[in-house]
Amino acid sequence: MITEVLYRKWRPQTLADVVGQEHVTQTLLNALAQERVAHAYLFCGPRGTGKTSTARILAKAVNCLKNGRGEPCNDCHICQAVTGGSALDLIEIDAASNRGIDEVRDLRERANYSPSEARFKIYIIDEVHMMTTPAFNALLKTLEEPPPHIIFILATTEAHKLPLTIVSRCQRFDFRRISQEATLGRLETICQAEGVEPDPWVLRFISRASGGSLRDAENLLEQLMVSYGNRIEPRHVRELLGISAEMPLEVFIASMLRGDVAESLRILHGVVEQGANLRYFQRELLEYLRSLMMVVAGAEDVVDIPAEEMTSLKGLAPEIGLEDVTRALHIFSGVDLKADGAGPFALETALVEVCLGLGKRIARPEASARFSDSSKESLEKPPAPVKESPPPIQQTTDLPPETVATPRPEAREPDEPAGPEPSPPDDEERPGPEPVPINDIDVFRRRWPELVDALKGQGSKGSLDALLRNACEPIAIEGETLVVGFYYPFHKSKIEDPKYRHLVEKKVSEVFGAPYKIRCDLVTRESPPPPARTPDHGPLVQAALEMGARVLDDGLEKAN
């Protein structure tokens, strides 16, 4: 049921088969021909470029019974044993799993024995960068002067992690990323042999997308073959990679660099709705921006793109500043779609950032289009998913959608740091035409300090007055209830404590001659601490107040 995947099935078996590493294979062939094979090699290079494969081929080539001075024959029993993974004299070590000094000691001990059937005993140490430092050092002597029948081949993707003393004892070969043409050629060979007839565009696309790793390319081809059979067409590739959507890049970039946030967001969501792969979108976008940057900078001959794209670029270029494109390029290349969850969110913020950076004033679109009718419907019958959460419903009715149309009515009231619940009392605080006995509350306000002073020495620590001083003000009288506005939740919660509230209520009735109940609310402080009740006095009056004066004529406050 499980078969060999392409990259295993098509592992090259001769040096000539190894794709795109001629500088390595040719050198090795020469060495084989002259019987000057070194005792230690280091193969390094990116993933999927043929390191392990070349190592195995080399193991065959030196031991091959038929030839032995060039390509392996792949026919003799030693070659076949190596291919089949059963050769006794090829020891492939996974250095990432056997990375300690003990494993190296063990290796050194065994290295002294002669090969059991072949000419050379080959040690392939793969992922060698994961060995520990003591292990590396224990290997040094053996690596420098191994017994004559030993060949070491070290392979790694991260040669920079090896100690220099290791590197200098090996013949080092750097495997290169495989060029697109070479990948393409290899894919064509595979397709022919497998009886697959892909569209030429498909193979070109795969070789471009593989980033120089043949294994990645073969994996992609494999998925396509499995999914879509023998005739692979461009739309299949798009389907598999989730890039079926049309990418309206030109319009997108144009509206973005115009500073039209709404329009570009709309385009982006159009793309998302089509189920596009966002990382692909990002990559295409970057490509396009790069080309655009080149064109704007006047270096259009550097860009290698189809003619029609070029005309669209040229159409776009005159309106656009080099600085803006470059910045957009920078911002979008910094978008890490994986880190920010799967949604288009990261692209959205990047887009807004680009728009904001244009130095233009970004106009807010007409409010009417904010929520469509359909979603308003859902607003009117809001979800009542759980019993515990009725608040959303009530608040929805508090602020009907009609306020949407009017630009910014009360919406700005809570601008100033307000209490968490800017509810009714907050409104009554602002003296208005409410049926509140204004005179009374003014009396309270004026005589409030007396009350505070009277509370001195009360409370458990004798400091109840401190809780009221500069921390609150009477704001309204509702029947027999005195509403006291506190600036901070801390003080409010203290006074709300029944034992303190009781004390305060007692004092209130003493000072004002009538029993009142106290209700506490959070309010916004209207002016800097000391005279909280005189927001609009001039500096002179203010100073006088601080020195102990009292305002006798309320005219000022009433006018206010």
Partner 1 sequence: MRSVNTTQETLPSTGIIGHAGALALLDRSREAGRLAHAYIFVGPRHVGKMALALYLAKSVNCQGEGRPPCDVCSQCRRIGSGWHVDVQVIDTSSEGESDEDKTDKTRIGIGKVRELQRQVSLRPYEGVCRVFIVDGAELLTHEAANSLLKSLEEPPEGVLFVLLATDETSVLPTILSRCQRIELSPMPTDDLAQTLTSRYAVQEENARLIARLSGGCTGWAISAAQDDSVLGARIDSLDVLIELADSDLEGRFQYASKLSQLYSNDKQGVRDLMDLWTLWWRDLILTWAGQGDVATNLHRNDKLEEQSLRYSLDAIQMFIKRIKEARHYLERNVNPRTALEWLMLGFPEAQTAG
Length of the chain, in residues: 560
Using DSSP, state whether 397 is helix, strand or coil. helix
How many chain residues interact with partner 1 (CB under 8 A)?
Answer: 97
Closest approach, Cβ 146 to partner 1, in A, equals: 23
Residue range at the interface with partner 1 (CB under 8 A); choices 67-75, 167-175, 310-318, 343-351: 343-351
Amino acid code (one letter) for 301: D
State the minimum distance, in angstroms, from the CB of residue 526 to partner 1. Answer: 14
DSSP state of 366: P
Nearest to 486 by CA among 526, 540, 525: 525
The single residue among 89, 103, 127, 465 that binds partner 1, judged by CB under 8 A, is: 127
Helical packing angle, 234-241 and 200-209, nearest 10°? 40
**What CA–CA distance (Å, rounded) separates 221 from 226?**
9
Which one, 5 or 454, has the nearer CB to partner 1? 5
Are residues 191 and 203 in contact, defined by beta-carbon separation less than 8 angstroms? yes
Residue 336 binds partner 1, judged by CB under 8 A: yes
Burial-class residue 291 by CB neighbours within 10 Å (0-12, 13-18, 19+). buried
- Cα dihedral sign for 244, 246, 250, 255? negative
CB nearer to partner 1: pick between 116 and 375:
375
Measured between alpha carbons, how far is 442 from 142 in angstroms, rounded to an integer?
98
393 residue type, one letter: I
The reply to whether 419 sits near partner 1 by the rule CB under 8 A is yes
Of 355-414, binders to partner 1 (CB under 8 A) are 355-356, 362, 364-367, 369-372, 374-375, 378-379, 381-383, 385-386, 388-389, 391-392, 395-396, 398-399, 401, 403-404, 407-408, 411-412, 414
**Continuous segment of H or E residues that includes residue 474:** strand 472-478
Nearer to partner 1, 8 or 502 (CB): 8
- In the range 68-97, which residues lie near partner 1 by CB under 8 A? 85, 92, 94, 96-97
Per rule CB under 8 A, is residue 5 in the interface with partner 1? yes
**With respect to partner 1, which residue has the nearer C-beta, 146 or 344?**
344
Question: Which residue in the set 216, 250, 284, 505 belongs to the binding site for partner 1 (CB under 8 A)?
Answer: 216
Q: Is 247 in the site for partner 1 (CB under 8 A)?
A: no
Helix (H) or strand (E) holding 485: strand 481-486
Nearer to partner 1, 8 or 231 (CB): 8
Kindly tell me which of 391 and 433 has the beta carbon lying closer to partner 1.
Answer: 391
* Footprint on residues 19-58 left by partner 1 (CB under 8 A): 47-48
Q: Which two tokens stand for residue 162?
A: 């090896």
438, 450, 404, 446: which is closest to 531 by C-alpha? Answer: 446
For residue 239, state whether it binds partner 1 (rule: CB under 8 A). yes
Q: How far apart are CA 152 and CA 136, in angstroms?
A: 13
**What's the closest the beta carbon of residue 344 comes to partner 1, in angstroms?**
9
Q: Put the strands of the sheet holding 517-522 in their side by side order.
A: 472-478, 481-486, 517-522
DSSP 8-state secondary structure symbol assigned to residue 49: S
Extract the tokens encoding 304.
Answer: 């290698």
**Comparison of 371 and 512: residue with beta carbon closer to partner 1:** 371
Site string for partner 1, 428-467 (x = CB under 8 A): ----------------------------------------
Residue 407 or residue 548: which is nearer to partner 1 going by CB? 407
Nearest approach in angstroms of CB 18 to partner 1 is 17
Residue 38 or residue 342: which is nearer to partner 1 going by CB? 342
Q: Where in 469-528 is the site for partner 1 (CB under 8 A)?
A: 488-490, 524
Of 298, 519, 352, 318, whose CA–CA distance to 424 is shortest? 519
